[in-house]
Structure formats: structure tokens, C-alpha cells
Amino acid sequence: CFPGDSRVFVEGGRSKRLRDLRPGDRVLAARGPGSRPVYSDFLLFLDHEPHRRRLFLSVKTAAPARTLLVTPAHLVFAANSSDPRHARPVFASRVRPGMHVFVLDDRDGGARLRAARVERVSWVEAWGSLAPLTAHGTLVVDGFLASCYAVVELHDWAHAAFAPLRAAHAASGDLARGHRVARGGEGGGGGGGGGDSRFPGNCSGALEARSAHIHWYSRLLYGLGRLVLHDDRYHPLGMELEPC
């Protein structure tokens, strides 16, 4: 997760706070550290606590100067060298001074990514705890290339596991657009169906209240993953609550 005031670039080149993202926005992302940035559809928030104050890791680089605030269990692209071919998605808690992360290159107008050496890692408090999901499974946040996924240090596995959710979201978007055309108007949009659709019917009201910030599909995958993945695959500070 990232703080609500973290910023992303949306199509057209302007920046936007994470807490202000809406379905239909297209945000800067990349297929990996060695690829050129592209705009990717923002789908939904996997975790959404805009009013929570919590601890984040602060990852600072010097050339160029960048600061990323991120939760320890979130995945970021990092390497022990500046070669993007050696980069892999790792828990943010594994990032150390001297490692390299991948940031937008100011010298190229932000049109590509470059390696930047980590100078300092520390703890800070900030407001909000948001985990946006894009169609590419990555995003460029505060200039850093990061994964959309957390808890399990398996980015490709997570991206594949979320494919049904991406497909369902795309289908629902097509249906909504068709409905608006049939009615002859744009309608109100609404950001993906409202809050109640986030929770499956078999969840108790108490658990919904305690874990309302976590998307139901994330909790479902967490539960399934616990059946097939060893405990050491999970970050100790990952999912805060057991899923339904």
C-alpha cells in the first residue's frame, strides 16, 4: 500500500493523488524495469483505507532524488546492480541502501525508466493506505516503478491469479457502456458498483466491518494461497486479517 497523497501520472501528463483515482483513469505503468512506460487502466483498489494513519517505509534515492512511501509487504522492483535484467519484484522490507530501484528518467522527459541507487531506508508515518490495481499489474507511483501486489513475493503468480478479476471488470465495463448507449446517455458511472459488491454473501457482518478496506477477491486469494503455498512465501506483516 501507499499513502493517499502519493502521486501517479494519468493520461495527458498530469499528476493525481492516489486517493483521487477513479475507474476510467489511465495511469502510468510499465511491463517491467526494462520496458518503456505505458498508460494502463486503473481498475479498483485492492486495499482502501484513506483515513488510516500508519507506518510506511521511506525509500530515498539521490540521482535522481525520489522518495517512495510504501508498506513493508508491498512489492517493488529492485536489483543489486543497475542492470534492469537483474531486477525482480521484492518485498519493500528487503530493499537496502546500495540496491537499485527503477524510476522515471527526468533526462528523457519521463519517457523511460532508469536505475537509481537507494541512499536511505527509514520509517515514517503518513495518512491513507491504498493499493491500486491496474490492468498491467504495475504502476509508477511517486516516480518509482512498483507492483500492484503485496503479501506474497510472487508478482507473476499474483498477476495471473487476478486475471479473472480483470476480465470481470472489463466485461462489466463493456456492459455498463452498452447500457448507457441503450439509454441514450452517459449515466453516473459510480466507480465499479459501490461498496456492498466488495463482499461475498457468506462473510459475517463482523468480519466485513473489520476488513472492509480489503477487496473480497484479495481475501479469497489469500485463503486459497494458504492452502497451496508455504508460510515462508508470505510476508509476516502482510494480510492483517484472515479471509472469509
Give residue 195's pLDDT: 37
Whether 200 maps to a domain, the answer reads no
Check: CB of residue 27 under 8 Å from CB of residue 40: yes
The CATH number given to whatever domain includes residue 76 is: 2.170.16.10
Q: What is the pLDDT of residues 128-177, one digit of tens each?
A: 999 999 999 999 999 999 999 999 999 999 999 999 999 988 887 654 44
Nearest of 147, 104, 135, 195 to residue 2 by alpha carbon = 147
Supply φ then ψ for residue 35, to 5 degrees.
Answer: -110, 165
Whether the per-residue pLDDT at 57 is higher than 90: the answer is yes
Give residue 223's pLDDT: 72
Structural domain boundaries, residue 65:
7-152
How far apart, in whole angstroms, are the C-alpha atoms of residue 135 and residue 90? Answer: 20
Q: What is the pLDDT of residues 218-241, one digit of tens each?
A: 776 767 767 677 777 777 876 554
Check: CB of residue 46 under 8 Å from CB of residue 218: yes
Q: What is the pLDDT of residues 60-87, one digit of tens each?
A: 999 899 999 999 999 999 999 999 999 9
Whether 135 maps to a domain, the answer reads yes
Q: How does DSSP assign 164-211, residue by residue?
A: HHHHHHHHHHHHHHHHHHHHTS-----SSS-SGGGS-TTS-HHHHHHS
Whether 157 maps to a domain, the answer reads no
- 104: CB partners within 8 A, 6+ apart: 28, 37, 110, 112, 113, 114, 140, 143
Nearest of 16, 23, 65, 24 to residue 44 by alpha carbon = 23
Whether the per-residue pLDDT at 242 is higher than 90: the answer is no
β-pair partners for 44: 133
Number of domains in the chain: 1
What is the residue-averaged pLDDT of the chain?
A: 82
